[in-house]
Structures are given as C-alpha cells and as structure tokens.
Structure 1
Amino acid sequence: MRIGLYPGTFDPITLGHMDIIRRASALVDRLVIGVAINRDKGPLFDLEERVEMIEAECAALSEQTGTEIVAHPFENLLIDCAQDVGASLIVRGLRAVADFEYEYQMVGMNRVLNDEIETVFLMAEARHQAIASKLVKEIARLGGDVSHFVPAPVNAALIEKFRG
C-alpha cells in the first residue's frame, strides 16, 4: 500500500488545499492529512475543529476516488510523522517561488533525516494559487466574502467565528 502524507495547519482548509488533496489522492492508496499542532501560530480554529473540517470535506472525495483519506494530528517533526503513519511520500503544495525556496530547504533537511521518504511537489491550479489561509482569515475577519476560497461549510464556520 502506497501511503502519502500531506501536512499543514489547515487553519482553515481552503479550496487550494482541496485541489492538492484531490490530485494527491491519485498518487497513493492512502492519503494522511497531517494536521500540525503549531502552538506558535495561534490558530483560529482549534485542532478538533480543523480535523472535523478536513474529515467532512474529504469524505466524499475519498469515496469518489477510492483512496482512503484520513486526518492525523501531529506535533513532532514532519519526517517523524511520516514514519509514524508509514508514509513513503510527503506531498507539498506550491503556490509561488517563495514557497519553493522554503520547501527546497525542508526537503534537503528531511532527506538527511530519512532518505527513504520522497517529497513530491504539486502546483495548485492557477485559480487557487493566490489562496492562503492567512489571507482568507484576514478577509473574513474584516467582513469580506471568502466563499470563492473555501468550501461552503468552512465559509459558514468563518462567519460564525468572527460574528462573536
């Protein structure tokens, strides 16, 4: 069984993330969505909310593609998480050149830590390349419409979060 790991904070999950998940699911038999517990980032949505959103958004995709897609919280090194879930492949989404520079360094470090785990980069579709969770949250916080950037249930959750 080929297992892939797609890590991120997913705060919140966006249509860009879903694009990468859809395309990555064609590469593996099981796709683990690694939900990073990053206390330094101070996420808007708590871990349970982020996992629930991912599971809800990926359920139909998993059924449609036949690829098992599961959410897996982690707080350790990415390479250790990959080993923990049995992944032979780490999937990373790229939006711009700035993403590549950071990811390039990360791959080099991960290869030293474990050279048996490959990293694959997937470019987001052009219509999703500008989407960043940070910008989505900022737009939503200021009352803007983010329905073009996130799934409908996530949009509703953002509206609810900022209403209070």
Structure 2
Amino acid sequence: MASERTGVYPGTFDPITSGHMEVMRRSLRLVDRLVIGCAINIGKGPLFSLEERMEIIREDISEFPPADRERIKVVPFEGLLIHFTREVGASLIIRGLRAVSDFEYEIQMANMNARMDPDIETIFLMASDRHQFIASSLVKDIARLGGDTSQFVSKRVFQRLKAKFAKG
C-alpha cells in the first residue's frame, strides 16, 4: 500500500448516538484507519467520565465487522485538535453536520485548522435525515426527564443512561 490515509473523528461523545455511529461507518469508506478522538473537554461537564465514554464507544463499535473494527482506534485527547491530528499521523479531520446551524461553527474551525496546518483537510459528512435531529445534549435531557431514548442510541447506551439517571 503506497500510503495509508488516516482520519480523525473527534468529539465528546457524551453519549455516543446513532448519528455518531453513522458518521463512523461512512468514514470507514474514506480512510484506511480511523482514529476516534474522545475529547477530555471538562469544560462541557460531561455526564459520563472519559473512561466510560471510551468504553461505550468500544462497546458500540464491537458491532462493526471485524475488518472495520481493526481499522478503528479510540484515543483520548486534550488541547488543539490540529495538534492531536498531527500526533496520530492523520491527514483528514472528519466532522459530522446535523443542520445548517452546525455549519457556521464548523466552517470557522475548519478554516482555523487549515491556517494552522494546510496539509490537514477537514471534510464534513451530512447526517442522514434519520439522524439529523439527534444531539447528545438532547438525548441526555430526554433521559434525565424519564423519556425513552432507545431510538437515538444503542441498547447499551440506553441502559447506561437509565442507570445514570436512576441514581439521581
């Protein structure tokens, strides 16, 4: 193989949703190796700890075919995304877009990253209509208020959300 294309799909993944999983599946069509960058991001006050979020991601990707699972690595990161992307040897940042409202922020970030390292490309994958409205923050709000989140997350995440809010 001439050169392996590595992509980074960064996020807080608090919790990982069906939309995130869709972006991961589609990303595997574009790269040889996919690094899931699980942001430490204490500023967002995550519901799940970094260790829990990484474990949940690994559990959810266990459903992927073995050949795809072997191409994915889940790695924590802190600091600038562009630095992390360089550290893992990636040439591509993959960002999922749900709606036009995401685009303004994401394009600013992509342009800043391009200024800091023009050799790293950012690509945007639009969520399918089935997943456009799913946001981790909304999923947490629904779960916190006793709603059914099973159509937005995997069975494992659904159970973890129920357990998290049953303790409250």
Deviation track 1:102-145 (CA, whole Å, cap 9, x = no partner) reads 01100110011000000010011101000000000000000000
**Which residue in the other structure is 2:107 paired with?**
104
Unaligned 5+ segments in structure 1 are none
- Alignment correspondent of 2:164: 161
8 Å CA contact 1:37–1:73 kept in 2: the answer is yes
Aligned to 1:69: 72
1:59 to partner: Cα distance: 2.5
1:60 equivalenced with 2:63 (yes/no): yes
Bigger fraction of residues in helix: 1
Is 2:121 the partner of 1:121?
A: no
State the Cα distance separating 1:65 from its structure 2 match: 3.4
Relative to structure 1, is the Cα distance of residues 61 and 97 closer, same or farther in structure 2, using a 3 angstrom cutoff?
Answer: same
Separation of aligned partners in 1, 2:38 and 2:130: 24
Following the alignment from structure 2 to structure 1, what is the Cα–Cα distance between the partners of residues 67 and 92?
Answer: 22
Instruction: Identify the match of residue 9 of structure 2 among 1, 6, 9.
Output: 6
| Count of matched residue positions in the alignment of Structure 1 and Structure 2 | 164
Structure 1 equivalent of residue 155 of structure 2: 152
Q: Do structure 1's residue 39 and structure 2's residue 42 form an aligned pair?
A: yes
Give 4+ residue runs of structure 1 displaced > 3 Å after superposition: 64-67
Which structure 2 residue ranges, 5 or more long, are not aligned?
A: none
Residue 64 of structure 1 deviates from its aligned partner by 5.0
Q: Deviations over 1:26-59 (max 9, x none)?
A: 1111100000011111000000000001111113
Whole-angstrom distance in 2 between the partners of 1:91 and 1:54: 17
What is the alpha-carbon distance in structure 2 between the residues aligned to residue 14 and residue 152 of structure 1? 11
From 16, 21, 26, give the equivalent of 1:23. Answer: 26
Correspondence 1:76-91 to 2 at 5 A: 76-91=79-94
TM-score normalized by the length of structure 2: 0.95
What is the DSSP-based 3-state SS (H/G/I as helix, E as strand, rest coil) of the residue aligned with 2:62? helix
Compute the TM-score of the two structures, normalised by the length of structure 1.
0.97
